[in-house]
Amino acid sequence: MNIGKQFKDGLVSQNPVLVQLLGMCSTMAITTTLFNGVGMGLSVMVILTCSNIVIAALRKIIPQKIRIAAYVVVIAGFVTMVDLLIQAFVPELSKSLGVFIPLIVVNCIILGRAEAFASKNTVLASAVDGIAQGIGYTIVLVIMCVIREFLGSGTFGTGIFGVNGGGIRIIPEGYPALFLILPFGGFLTLGCLIAFVQWTANRSAEKASKGSEAAK
């Protein structure tokens, strides 16, 4: 087990959104304010870690044939718990994320990690995997939120900073490019973000190949 590598995988080389391309729906739908992004990211991280732990612990008991059904029940259970807790303690978040909290059940990241990692690894490694992948997911959400909120509504940190959680205004009202917080902005921002990741990957690959040629 290598915790450092697991974190590097979750954050960069195997980032759930940017590299594995999982969990697209929520990534584009709710990233309109920083509050939503942080809330969603943390919820997914908690659920992912818990379900990874339970599934890893039960991996020898659950028969192969019914494993997906069993995973889904475990995941749905954790999602409902988190949903109820959010409703009770952070009602604003529950309202602004709406149907996307229960929909974490079908977020491919969670079932994907259960199938690809937790069902084959120890409890401890699965817990670390859940945290690392969860942080990777949260970071992407936060980046998306900051870009879309800044360009689309001209504010930073709505729901967290500023007077009455109104956010810190950077661009005066009336000037921001509204379309960025609309569905189109979600597709565009994520597209550009993944393109940026591919661009850096291409560049380092080119450098590496040039380096090896030079060495010859």
Which residues 177-206 are close enough to bind another protein by CB under 8 A?
Answer: 178-179, 181-188, 190-192, 194-196, 198-199, 202
Q: Which is nearer to another protein, 99 or 215 (CB)?
A: 99
| Residue 91 in the binding site for another protein (CB under 8 A) | yes
Instruction: Count the residues of the shown chain that bind another protein, applying the rule CB under 8 A.
Output: 71
Choose the stretch contacting another protein; rule: CB under 8 A; options: 39-47, 72-80, 123-131, 133-141: 72-80
Q: Which residues pair with 168 in a beta bridge?
A: 156
CA distance 51 to 129: 11
Q: Which is nearer to another protein, 3 or 66 (CB)?
A: 66
Site residues (CB under 8 A) for another protein, limited to 28-47: 28-29, 32-33, 36
Structure-block tokens of residue 8: 């590097």
Which positions from 127 to 166 touch another protein by CB under 8 A, shown as an x/- string?
----------------------x--xx-x--x--------
In 3D, which of 107, 125, 127, 186 has the Cα closest to residue 151? 186
Which one of residues 42, 46, 48, 105 is an interface residue with another protein (CB under 8 A)? 105
Minimum distance from residue 40 beta carbon to another protein (Å): 13
Choose the stretch contacting another protein; rule: CB under 8 A; options: 7-15, 38-46, 99-107, 127-135: 99-107
